[in-house]
């Protein structure tokens, strides 16, 4: 049999054919394998292909042959990722606010290469999330990578930080001055990605939206704040910070309607103790960073959750309600009613 013009690529093309055209539900016969190789101008005898299929296992590609009638059907088994696992990854990428639409599509295309062409079609799914607005900062991937590199090398980072103004323009905070922060971790909360780091000048743990960081650079200075982060549980810090808004950490006692038990567990976990109060309510003591976001969370639950103590926090809640009510005040209404 005359050799084709691309014989040196035979094993590579065979691997490509098996990975793209077979899976648990789709098989390929020996004549079909030979025909597929021919599409790449590669010729091969059956015996050499049998040997090549065995050699693919050395590359981590396990091919199984099953007798069907008078022929064998071949397909790839035991891929690194199962289809349901990749579907979860696709859903996470599509629903992530901090990943741009263009990058979402590019990442999903790469995931499709991990399965056959048939399963790849099943990954082309659209996840619709109410109010989803994708970030417009394409550099977030390189920012995240730079943060991880700085953490692994125990270095500080420098970056500029921006906010959007009423003209829909990026406006650098601190007049464009660079922030000099010791990075200690990353957190995904409230649909956004945050850097959690130590600000040496302020002597505080602070967090920053990764998609609002610009021109990140690794510093020559070693990180500071290790003693703070030895005591800090990152997951616990995130749970206490509503929407990653800072605030004074306090133990707050809540009166909760029984029907909101699931809401409390989703927010604070199953370890919090529910203390029955009456037939329809229970109380719970939780540690939170008290902020306007926390009050907004309580307010969003209507009469289902009430802050009982401490008095300082209940008074802050009353003040928040008064401020909001004042924005909708009509002539003739006495503010003391609120």
| Domains along the sequence of the chain with CATH | 7-77 (1.10.10.10), 83-123 (no CATH), 140-232 (2.30.30), 243-327 (3.30.70)
What confidence tens digit (pLDDT) does each residue in 250-278 have?
899 999 999 999 888 878 888 889 999 99
User: Has residue 197 got a pLDDT over 70?
Assistant: yes
Burial of 178 (0-12, 13-18, 19+ CB in 10 A): middle
User: What are the φ/ψ torsions at residue 154 (nearest 5 degrees)?
Assistant: 60, 45
What confidence tens digit (pLDDT) does each residue in 41-99 have?
998 889 999 999 999 998 899 999 999 888 999 999 999 999 999 998 988 888 777 77
Q: What percent of the chain has pLDDT over 90?
A: 49
Banded model confidence at residue 142, pLDDT cuts 50, 70, 90: confident
Query: What pLDDT does 190 receive?
Result: 60
Query: What pLDDT does 274 receive?
Result: 93
Banded model confidence at residue 235, pLDDT cuts 50, 70, 90: low
- Between residues 23 and 141, the one the model is more confident about: 23
For the entire predicted model, the pTM comes to 0.59
What is the average pLDDT across 188-199?
Answer: 81
Query: What pLDDT does 130 receive?
Result: 43
Query: What pLDDT does 227 receive?
Result: 86
Task: Extract the tokens encoding 261.
Answer: 């038990």
Query: What pLDDT does 265 receive?
Result: 86
Q: Which of 98-102, 130-134, 143-147, 240-244 has the highest mean pLDDT?
A: 143-147
What confidence tens digit (pLDDT) does each residue in 297-324 have?
898 898 899 999 999 999 999 998 898 8
Query: What pLDDT does 131 receive?
Result: 44
Query: What pLDDT does 334 receive?
Result: 59
| Distance (Å, whole) CA 90 – CA 124 | 9
Q: Taking the alpha carbons of 257, 236, 266, 241 in that order, is the dihedral positive or negative?
A: positive
Q: Which of 20-34, 162-176, 269-283 has the highest mean pLDDT?
A: 20-34
Query: What pLDDT does 137 receive?
Result: 64
Query: What pLDDT does 158 receive?
Result: 97
Whether the CB-CB separation of 194 and 207 falls below 8 Å is answered with yes
The number of CA neighbours under 13 Å toward the Cβ of 335 is: 11
| Distance (Å, whole) CA 34 – CA 40 | 10
């Amino acid at each position: 049999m005359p050799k084709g013009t691309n014989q040196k690529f035979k094993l590579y093309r065979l691997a490509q054919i098996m990975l793209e055209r077979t899976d648990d539900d789709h098989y390929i016969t020996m004549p079909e394998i030979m025909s597929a190789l021919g599409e790449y101008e590669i010729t091969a005898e059956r015996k050499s292909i049998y040997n090549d299929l065995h050699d693919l296992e050395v590359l981590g590609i396990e091919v199984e042959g099953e007798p069907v009638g008078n022929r064998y059907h071949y397909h790839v088994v035991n891929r690194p990722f199962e289809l349901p696992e990749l579907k979860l990854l696709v859903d996470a990428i599509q629903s992530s606010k901090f990943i741009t639409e263009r990058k979402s599509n590019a990442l999903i295309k790469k995931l499709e290469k991990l399965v056959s062409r048939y399963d790849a079609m099943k990954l082309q799914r659209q996840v619709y999330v109410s109010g989803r607005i994708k970030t417009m900062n394409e550099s977030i991937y390189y920012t995240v990578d730079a943060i991880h590199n700085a953490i692994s090398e125990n270095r500080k980072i420098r970056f500029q930080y921006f906010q959007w103004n009423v003209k829909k323009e990026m406006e650098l905070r601190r007049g464009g001055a660079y922030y000099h922060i010791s990075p200690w971790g990353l957190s995904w909360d409230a649909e956004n990605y945050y850097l959690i780091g130590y600000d040496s000048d302020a002597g505080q743990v602070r967090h920053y939206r990764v998609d609002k960081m610009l021109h990140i650079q690794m510093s020559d200075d070693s990180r500071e704040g290790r003693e703070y982060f030895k005591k800090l549980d990152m997951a616990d810090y995130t749970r206490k910070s509503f929407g990653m808004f800072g605030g004074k950490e306090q133990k707050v006692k809540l009166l909760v309607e029984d029907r909101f038990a699931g809401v409390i567990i989703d927010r604070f976990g199953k370890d919090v103790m529910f203390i029955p109060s009456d037939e329809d309510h229970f109380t719970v003591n939780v540690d939170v960073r008290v902020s306007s976001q926390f009050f907004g969370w309580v307010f969003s639950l209507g009469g289902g959750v009430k802050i009982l103590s401490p008095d300082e926090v209940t008074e802050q809640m009353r003040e928040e309600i008064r401020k909001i009510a004042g924005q909708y005040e009509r002539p003739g209404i006495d503010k003391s009613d609120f």
